[in-house]
Amino acid sequence: MTFLDRFAFILTVIAAFGSGLIGGVFFVFSDTIMKALGRLPANEGMAAMQQINVVILNPVFLGIFIGTALCSAALAVSGIARLGHPGSGYLIAGAVLFVVGSLLLTMFLNVPLNNALMAADPSSAAGREVWDKYLTDWTFWNHVRTIASLLASIAFILASSSASKP
């Protein structure tokens, strides 16, 4: 196994772990947090989510999220460069699932919804409308992010298992 092979293997393990962690975070939001916030009075649920959106922008979460995306991008290049080698298809699939289904979906769908929520007043009627839309739209796209991240993790695990065989 060459240095580049070992490096790609290590990146694959990191990407599998990172995408699994992120998928788990998204899963908890879909399965529990959004349901709990939806049961609160609208102004309380909305205010709580506004605070969650502030707190989640921390070095640990962002490091894992952006780091996994960067590993995924590098692995896509590696998979394309080594097309036909064991696990290359899984590398490409995992990378596309994470970068498109998690990172880009977050940037272009969930973040704009977060920004609209942050700008809304939880005690106003307009804020209630934003919250109602947020609960359905944000949660739907979060389900998609959850599935994409977990499938990416599976693809990276399959890639690492394929690459580790003699």
The whole-angstrom separation of Cα 99 and Cα 78 is 15
Mean pLDDT of 153-166: 85
The whole-angstrom separation of Cα 149 and Cα 152 is 5
pLDDT (0 to 100) of residue 13: 96
pLDDT tens digits for range 62-77: 999 999 999 999 999 9
Please say if the pLDDT value at position 165 is more than 70: no
Annotate the chain with three-state secondary structure. Answer: CCHHHHHHHHHHHHHHHHHHHHHHHHHHHHHHHHHHHHHCCHHHHHHHHHHHHHHCCCHHHHHHHHHHHHHHHHHHHHHHHCCCCCCHHHHHHHHHHHHHHHHHHHHHHHHHHHHHHHHCCCCCHHHHHHHHHHHHHHHHHHHHHHHHHHHHHHHHHHHHHHHCCC
pLDDT tens digits for range 37-55: 999 999 999 999 999 999 9
The whole-angstrom separation of Cα 92 and Cα 102 is 15
Output Rg (C-alpha) for the chain, integer angstroms. 18
Question: Among 6-10, 45-49, 93-97, where is mean pLDDT lowest?
Answer: 6-10
Domain edges within the chain: 3-163
pLDDT (0 to 100) of residue 164: 60
The whole-angstrom separation of Cα 37 and Cα 163 is 43
Mean pLDDT of 7-18: 95
Measure Cα distances from 82 to 17, 88, 100 in Å: 22, 6, 21
Q: Rounded to two decimals, what is the model's pTM?
A: 0.93
